[in-house]
């Protein structure tokens, strides 16, 4: 019976493979930036509507987001997430055209497999992953709260897949220092340099670095340091990002950052205020039972699979992972050790090896979806693991 289901999954993926391949190549040829994915989202929506999905578009206040629903009777709810925004100048150097089409292909295949599950499948278009991340707002609005699982894959080079992608939490502040202007030569003693306070703030952050754990990263730039060299700057702005391996540690680093800002302002007789640069990106809640199952699935499909690498970046999928069991395996689309966010990686998404990986990845997502929807014991296990890991 298991072999029969596997063959039907393969058949469902094969039936829609050419559509997904054409979609991926078309997205690559017509890249659209974050929140501007009007044609990309429209083309995906048309495919899903034609296949029989009930589609809400736009969705959740995002003009280029959508939710395509397959309601197949009473049962659990699974989400498959789709990315499709590109990078400036580079195009789809992150592979969103390829793994976004992979998610669409998985959804189309599940429509062919309705007799094998009960429950709901939502294929959700999530714009702007490269910028402010629509998944963050969707998670905040409870879109994923009732899901037994939410999933997608992400492209990677090097020929080796991973069962999940770990992620760093990320917070961004715009720090605004306010002083008092004065002529820099005629009466500098009348001034209070906001730029000096901003520089001292960065110095204090640097002084803390020797006590950072390896996962902590703090990076800042000066947005405004004054308007004229002969005027003591009365206003300065710093944009600062900091990342950690957990949301709890993010709060500790947050306290440190604000102490440094207040101390710098006090030392230079200035004032400081701050505002979020954008919403927080959360770390990834990793569910071991989901990762173990995905490892088995990918290996059964002939993929080489390694352990999950330490986190080196942030993703809005982390915010989803705090709302329901979630997973984002890394699917190797090329054997070359290509780096993401490069024109070389964008070119790799057009090759036959990448298209084959797309089909393999879609089979893996479909297989996992059927397992979650059809196996109550497995659902309970991943839910229990999720609650335990989320609260650590």
- Encode the chain (392 residues) as per-residue pLDDT tens digits: 688 899 999 999 999 999 999 999 999 999 999 999 999 999 999 999 999 999 999 999 999 999 999 999 999 999 999 999 999 999 999 999 999 999 999 999 999 999 999 999 999 999 999 999 999 999 999 999 999 999 999 999 999 999 999 999 999 999 999 999 999 999 999 999 999 999 999 999 999 999 999 999 999 999 999 999 999 999 999 999 999 999 999 999 999 999 999 999 999 999 999 999 999 999 999 999 999 999 999 999 999 999 999 998 999 999 999 999 999 999 999 999 999 999 999 999 999 999 999 999 999 999 999 999 999 999 999 999 999 998 76
pLDDT tens digit string along 65-107? 999 999 999 999 999 999 999 999 999 999 999 999 999 999 9
pLDDT at 3: 86
Residue the block writes with tokens 């090759």: 351
pLDDT at 270: 98
pLDDT at 312: 87
Name, in order, each residue with C-beta under 8 angstroms of 132's C-beta and a sequence gap of 6 or more. 34, 278, 279
158 φ/ψ sector (left φ>0, alpha ψ -120 to 50, else beta) = left
**R_g of the chain computed on alpha carbons:** 24
* Residues recorded for the chain: 392
Domain boundaries, the chain: 2-167+283-390, 169-281
CA distance 325 to 378: 12
pLDDT at 391: 76
pLDDT at 2: 80
Q: For 150, how many CA atoms within 13 A lie in the half-sphere containing its CB?
A: 30
User: Are domains 2-167+283-390 and 169-281 of this chain identical in fold?
Assistant: no
Q: What are the φ/ψ torsions at residue 283 (nearest 5 degrees)? A: -70, 170
Per CATH, is 2-167+283-390 categorized as 3.40.630.10? yes
With H, G, I as helix, E, B as strand and everything else as coil, classify residue 77.
strand
Per CATH, is 169-281 categorized as 3.40.50.2000? no
Residue the block writes with tokens 């599950």: 117
Contact 135, 320 (CB under 8 A): yes
- Other beta carbons within 10 angstroms of residue 269's beta carbon come to 13
Strand partners, 238: 175, 222
Q: What pTM value is reported for the model? A: 0.93
Strand partners, 220: 240
Sign, Cα dihedral of 8, 79, 377, 154: positive
pLDDT at 116: 95
pLDDT at 12: 97
With H, G, I as helix, E, B as strand and everything else as coil, classify residue 270.
coil
């Amino acid at each position: 019976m298991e072999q029969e289901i596997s063959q039907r999954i393969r058949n469902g993926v094969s039936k829609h493979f050419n559509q997904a391949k054409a979609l991926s190549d078309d997205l690559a040829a017509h890249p659209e930036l974050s929140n501007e994915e009007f044609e990309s989202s429209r083309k995906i929506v048309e495919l899903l509507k034609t296949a029989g999905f009930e589609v809400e578009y736009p969705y959740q206040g995002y003009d280029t987001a959508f939710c395509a629903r397959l309601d197949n009777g009473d049962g659990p709810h699974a989400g498959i997430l789709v990315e499709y925004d590109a990078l400036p100048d580079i195009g789809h150097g992150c592979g969103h055209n390829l793994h976004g089409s992979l998610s669409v292909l998985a959804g189309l295949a599940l429509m062919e497999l309705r007799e094998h599950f009960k429950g709901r499948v939502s294929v959700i278009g999530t714009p702007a992953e490269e910028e402010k991340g629509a998944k963050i707002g969707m998670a905040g609005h409870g879109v994923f709260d009732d899901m037994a699982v939410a999933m997608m894959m992400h492209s990677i080079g090097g020929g080796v897949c991973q069962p999940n992608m770990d992620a760093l939490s990320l917070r961004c502040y715009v720090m605004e220092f306010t002083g008092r202007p004065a002529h820099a030569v005629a009466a500098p003693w009348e001034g209070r340099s906001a730029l000096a306070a901003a520089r001292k703030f960065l110095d204090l952050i640097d002084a803390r670095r020797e006590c950072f754990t390896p996962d902590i990263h703090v990076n800042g730039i000066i947005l405004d340091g004054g308007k004229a060299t002969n005027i003591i700057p009365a206003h300065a702005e710093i944009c600062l990002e900091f990342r950690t391996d957990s949301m709890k540690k993010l709060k500790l680093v947050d306290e440190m950052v604000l102490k440094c800002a207040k101390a710098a302002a006090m030392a230079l007789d200035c004032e400081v205020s701050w505002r979020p640069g954008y919403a927080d990106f959360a770390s990834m809640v990793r569910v071991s039972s989901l990762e173990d199952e995905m490892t088995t699935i990918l290996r059964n499909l002939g993929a080489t699979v390694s352990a999950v690498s330490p986190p080196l970046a942030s993703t809005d999928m982390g915010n989803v992972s705090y709302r329901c069991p979630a997973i984002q395996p890394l699917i190797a689309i090329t054997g070359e050790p290509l780096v993401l966010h490069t024109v070389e990686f964008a070119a790799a998404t057009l090759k036959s090896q990448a298209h084959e990986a797309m089909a393999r990845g879609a089979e893996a997502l479909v297989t996992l979806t059927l397992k979650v929807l059809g196996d109550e014991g497995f659902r309970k296990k991943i839910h229990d693991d999720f609650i335990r890991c989320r609260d650590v």
